[in-house]
Amino acid sequence: MVTKKKSTRVKGTKSRAAAASRANPRTGQSATHKEPGLMKRLATGAVVCAEGYVFELERRGYLQAGAFVPTVLLEHPEVVEQLHMDFVHAGSDVTQALTYYVHREKLRMIGREKDLGAMNHIALKIAKKVARKTQTLFAGDICNTNIYDPNESKALKQVARIFEEQVGWAADAGVDYIVAETFSWGQEALMALDAIKKHSKVPAVVTFSIHRELVTREGWTAAETCRRLEAAGADVVGLNCHRGPRTMLPLLKEIRAAVKCDVAALPVPYRTTEEQPSFMSLTDPCCSDRRAFPVGLDPFVVTRQEIFDFGREAYAMGIKYLGVCCGAGPQHIRALAESLGRRPEGSKYSVDMSKHAFFGTDQKIKTVQTEYRSRL
């Protein structure tokens, strides 16, 4: 699908193409994809990655909050494809396969273990189709297993199996790189990285989450965890999910100073505070201080401007892998892309109030309207 007409953008990417063909030893297929890879793109600027698909699919009415397993892959694959397209239209450089929570343990939880292979294959197929059509990067995805327990060797074996099989499917599908995300344990993140390094030859982006406490569940700081991940061979390290821009930024500053490799930042688009620094800790004063997570978070959603400001600040700090996690809509991704000075296709529809019926500045707007502004 991606042919020679891309020649102006593939200049000097011979080694990447060769690396890509080495990336799929399991299939024996030679890579035809000649887009600059993730690391090359990061070397010259930012990469925007839309995440948080399960929340957006829940909001659209195709996924159940709670277990958060995307059975939509089997029931409405066209909805998943459209969501990928929406995020690319809004400025995402990446189409990440919706394999988040499509692992053995999650499917066992909902009694659908038999669908494991089919769901992973469909997710990878849809993402690859969109990625190649839109010339975005095609990313695989593995995540928190929820069974990791440092004191239980049986659980550790199951975790390793989950990572191995999902990385294998992603590598077979020919992903450009693999994201490992949303870990609460630094050690589980290291296990995920180990699987990517053992069972694929593509770059690894490893991000984890910091909840209320400023450490991972084994007590490592964010900076220390990133140092360990970098030392273990991760190409990009950082944070995703759980914290909003305001409570993630101070940690990102420490991480940026602690590692040499590229840093990733994908906050949730919610107004987290010092007292309630994670989206799971937010309580809503309008509703008897009830926990807002997961379906009462609407009043805490950040504005486009707040994401724009976050993008500016993070990029100025030297953080180049940027995205938004659970709760992200296309409007956030567009604002993030625009904060980097970009004009994605969707920017054609970015706000322009000059022709607004009351607030506009256009000559054609009557004074009978503009004079009424203060009474609106």
229 or 325: CB nearest Zn ion: 325
Q: To the nearest whole angstrom, how small is the minimum distance from the Cβ of residue 340 to Zn ion?
A: 21
Establish how many alpha carbons lie within 13 A of residue 255's alpha carbon, considering only the half-sphere containing its beta carbon: 34
Per CB under 5 A, the segment of 87-95, 188-196, 236-244, 340-348 that binds Zn ion is: 236-244
From start to end of 267-333, where are the E strands?
Answer: 283-284, 290-291, 321-324
Binding characters for Zn ion, 313-332, by CB under 5 A (x = yes)? ------------xx------
The position carrying tokens 């989206």 is 279
Angle CA 11–200–238, to nearest 5: 80
Token pair of 2 as six digits: 């991606």
Cα dihedral angle (48, 51, 55, 60), rounded to 10 degrees?
A: 60
192 or 325: CB nearest Zn ion: 325
Total number of residues that touch Zn ion (CB under 5 A): 3
Q: To the nearest whole angstrom, how small is the minimum distance from the Cβ of residue 257 to Zn ion?
A: 25
Per CB under 5 A, the segment of 60-68, 127-135, 160-168, 233-241 that binds Zn ion is: 233-241
Whether omega before 294 lies within 30 degrees of 0, making that bond cis, reads yes
233 membership: H or E segment, kind and range = none
Per CB under 5 A, the segment of 71-79, 240-248, 257-265, 310-318 that binds Zn ion is: 240-248
User: Under the criterion CB under 5 A, does residue 251 sit at the interface with Zn ion?
Assistant: no
DSSP string, 239-253: EESSB-HHHHHHHHH
Whole-angstrom distance, CA of residue 310 vs CA of residue 44: 20
- 204 — phi, psi (to 5°)? -115, 125
191 or 239: CB nearest Zn ion: 239
Q: To the nearest whole angstrom, how small is the minimum distance from the Cβ of residue 170 to Zn ion?
A: 19
User: Under the criterion CB under 5 A, does residue 142 sit at the interface with Zn ion?
Assistant: no
Angle CA 330–132–350, to nearest 5: 25
241 or 280: CB nearest Zn ion: 241
Task: Count the Cβ atoms, other than its own, within 10 Å of residue 290.
Answer: 12
Q: To the nearest whole angstrom, how small is the minimum distance from the Cβ of residue 298 to Zn ion?
A: 16
Identify whether the C-beta of residue 83 lies closer than 8 Å to the C-beta of residue 97.
no
Q: To the nearest whole angstrom, how small is the minimum distance from the Cβ of residue 268 to Zn ion?
A: 6
42 or 328: CB nearest Zn ion: 328
90 or 241: CB nearest Zn ion: 241
138 or 183: CB nearest Zn ion: 183
Identify whether the C-beta of residue 324 lies closer than 8 Å to the C-beta of residue 330.
no
Q: To the nearest whole angstrom, how small is the minimum distance from the Cβ of residue 355 to Zn ion?
A: 37
Angle CA 16–20–21, to nearest 5: 120
Q: To the nearest whole angstrom, how small is the minimum distance from the Cβ of residue 150 to Zn ion?
A: 23
Whole-angstrom distance, CA of residue 258 vs CA of residue 278: 23
187 or 278: CB nearest Zn ion: 278
Question: Which amino acid belongs to residue 145?
Answer: T
User: Under 8 Å CB-to-CB from 348, ≥6 apart: which residues?
Assistant: none
Whole-angstrom distance, CA of residue 193 vs CA of residue 52: 21
Q: To the nearest whole angstrom, how small is the minimum distance from the Cβ of residue 236 to Zn ion?
A: 17
Q: To the nearest whole angstrom, how small is the minimum distance from the Cβ of residue 221 to Zn ion?
A: 21
User: Under the criterion CB under 5 A, does residue 241 sit at the interface with Zn ion?
Assistant: yes
325 or 335: CB nearest Zn ion: 325
Q: To the nearest whole angstrom, how small is the minimum distance from the Cβ of residue 167 to Zn ion?
A: 20
326 or 335: CB nearest Zn ion: 326
Q: Break the chain down into helix, strand, coil percent, rounded to 5.
A: 45, 15, 40
**Which residues of the chain form contacts with Zn ion (CB under 5 A)?**
241, 325-326
